[in-house]
Copies of this chain bind each other. A is one copy, B any other.
Amino acid sequence: MADSLLLRRPALGRHLGPVAAADARLASRYSNRLRAGYPARPEDLRSCGLIVLHTDTAGLARLLELLRRIGPWRGAHFVLLHAELDSSALDEFRAAGARVCSAAPAPAPSRDLVVVEGDRSALRRATAWLEDAHLRCLELAPGSKPLFLVGAQMPGWLLIPVFDAAFQTLKAAGLSPAEARRMLRFLGDAAVREFAAHGRRGWEDPAAAPRAAVTAAARKALMEASPRLGRFEEAMLAAVAEFYGGTAGQRPEGESRVLRVRLSIP
């Protein structure tokens, strides 16, 4: 429960009523920990206007079993607080007439952002509750929480290895670790600003004339100095060329082939 939105935003506790869990002792512990609501039996949740579900992925099956036992849930409203699971985890209650949605913290400088998705009327109640605690809610398109996750995690997966490869290359060129790190910090900041201001138009195509010959020679030098770095850089640039070359409908197939050929090291 350490990373819970409920703990991070105590204001969310203001409207909590009955707090239920697998047993009375746990319910009491959760309520104490949250400094909100009061311990209650699971059956007491049935009277709530919005039922807030909190579980880790491993505990989901047990939570669903508990809810099944104390149903029916026709007309009830659920919000599942979970970084990855979405409202489809509650499909069986949706099918039985409940309204369900999910909410998850999203990356933002002031940690006040939440992404939500799910059924209209559940979303209405959940966002009113979240916004009352000064959280901003972004609504995702139906069924697209996995897409959101991959988009938000892609920078973490890919940017560090790019910095790392450039770092190793600059060190191989004779820069000290501190100098290479300082230069990459500047180049990274510049790329972030460039993308924020101009989007894809900020991209420098290494295969573009008039620099194609120079960059090809530089990439060849990298491959000779470190085949591992050279292969990484080659594979990454091939993926980029495929990505931008293959903009279906925007560039003719012929042009995309040319782009790929020009990108390969002679």
Q: Mark A residues whose CB is within 8 Å of B.
A: 57, 84, 106-109, 113, 117, 138-141, 144-170, 172-175, 179-192, 194-196, 199-200, 202-206, 214-215, 217-222, 225, 228, 231-233, 235-240, 242-244, 246-248
Contacts and interface: CB of A to CB of B under 8 A. Distances in A.
Interface of A is mostly: helix
Which of A84, A153, A172 has the most CB atoms of chain B within a 10 A radius of its CB?
A: A153
B156 A191 contact: yes
A194 to B, nearest CB: 7
B228 A246 contact: yes
Contacts of A145: 173
A136 to B, nearest CB: 10
A30 B16 CA distance: 77
A199 B167 contact: yes
A107 B225 CA distance: 22
A174 B144 contact: yes
Contacts of A84: 214, 218
Contacts of A172: 141, 144, 147, 151
Contacts of A159: 159, 162, 188, 191-192, 195
Contacts of A215: 149-150, 153
21 contacts: A106-B183, A139-B174, A140-B175, A144-B221, A147-B169, A147-B172, A147-B222, A147-B225, A154-B166, A156-B187, A158-B240, A159-B159, A160-B200, A161-B200, A161-B240, A167-B195, A184-B192, A185-B192, A185-B196, A188-B191, A235-B242
A183 B108 contact: yes
Contacts of A182: 108
A166 B239 CA distance: 14
A188 B195 contact: yes
Contacts of A151: 166-170, 172-173, 180
Contacts of A191: 155-156, 159-160, 163, 188
B239 A149 contact: no
Contact of A232 (B163, B192, B199, B239): B239
B239 A173 contact: no
A188 B152 CA distance: 10
A164 B199 contact: yes
Q: Please name the 3 residue pairs, one residue from A and one from B, whose CB atoms are nearest each other, closest first.
A: A151-B169, A141-B174, A146-B221
